[in-house]
Structure 1
Amino acid sequence: MPIDVDTDERLADIARATVEVARERGTRAVTLRAVAERLERSTAYITNFVPSRAHLMANALDHARTQWDVERREHLGDLVGVERLAALTRWMCSSSPEENVLRSLWIEVIADVRGANRHAYEVVRGVTDATYGKFLDGAGHVAANDGEPVDHETAAHIADILYLYCRGYEVKAVEDPTVWTDERVQASLELLLRTLVFDDALSR
Structure 2
Amino acid sequence: MPVEIDITQRLAAIADATLEIVATEGIDGVTIRAVARRMGGSTTLVTNYLPTREALLRNAIEHALASWDAEVGQVAGEATAGERLSDVVRWACSTEGNDQVLRRLFMEVLGRVGPESEASQVLREDSRQNRDLLADAARDAGAADAAFVADVLHLMLRGFYLSSLEDPERWTSERVAPLIERLVRLLTASS
TM-score (norm 1): 0.86
Counterpart of 2:37 in 1: which secondary structure? helix
Residue 177 in 1 paired to residue 168 in 2? Answer: yes
Residue 133 in 1 paired to residue 124 in 2? Answer: no
CA–CA separation in structure 1 for the residues paired with 2:163 and 2:31: 25
Give the gaps of 5 or more residues in structure 2: none
Give the gaps of 5 or more residues in structure 1: 144-148
The runs of 4+ residues in structure 1 deviating greater than 3 Å are: none
| CA displacement 1:47-72 (0-9 Å, x = unmatched) | 12111111111101111122112211
> Which structure 2 residues correspond to residues 141-152 of structure 1 after superposition, within 5 A?
141-143=140-142, 150=144
Residue 189 in 1 paired to residue 180 in 2? Answer: yes
Of 126-135 and 28-37, the range deviating more from structure 2: 28-37
CA–CA separation in structure 1 for the residues paired with 2:47 and 2:2: 20
| CA displacement 1:98-122 (0-9 Å, x = unmatched) | 011111111122124427x711111
CA–CA separation in structure 2 for the residues paired with 1:172 and 1:119: 25
Is contact 1:54-1:120 (8 Å) kept?
yes
Give the Å deviation of 1:163: 0.8
Residue 63 in 1 paired to residue 44 in 2? Answer: no
Q: Which residue is 1:7 aligned to? A: 7
Give the Å deviation of 1:97: 4.1
Q: Which residue is 2:41 aligned to? A: 41
Is contact 1:112-1:118 (8 Å) kept?
no
Is contact 1:17-1:35 (8 Å) kept?
yes
Give the Å deviation of 1:139: 1.4
Amino acid at match of 1:134: L
Q: CA RMSD in A?
A: 1.8
Is contact 1:17-1:38 (8 Å) kept?
yes
Amino acid at match of 1:105: L
Amino acid at match of 1:179: R
Give the Å deviation of 1:81: 2.4
Summarize the Cα distance change of 1:66–1:49 in structure 2 as closer, same or farther, 3 Å threshold: same
> Which structure 2 residues correspond to residues 108-127 of structure 1 after superposition, within 5 A?
108-114=108-114, 118-127=117-126
Is contact 1:22-1:101 (8 Å) kept?
yes
CA–CA separation in structure 2 for the residues paired with 1:170 and 1:105: 11
Counterpart of 1:38 in 2: which secondary structure? helix
Amino acid at match of 1:43: T
Which structure has the greater CA radius of gyration? 1
Give the Å deviation of 1:137: 0.9
Summarize the Cα distance change of 1:142–1:70 in structure 2 as closer, same or farther, 3 Å threshold: closer
Give the Å deviation of 1:134: 0.7
> Which structure 2 residues correspond to residues 79-98 of structure 1 after superposition, within 5 A?
79-98=79-98
Is contact 1:11-1:49 (8 Å) kept?
yes
Is contact 1:15-1:59 (8 Å) kept?
yes
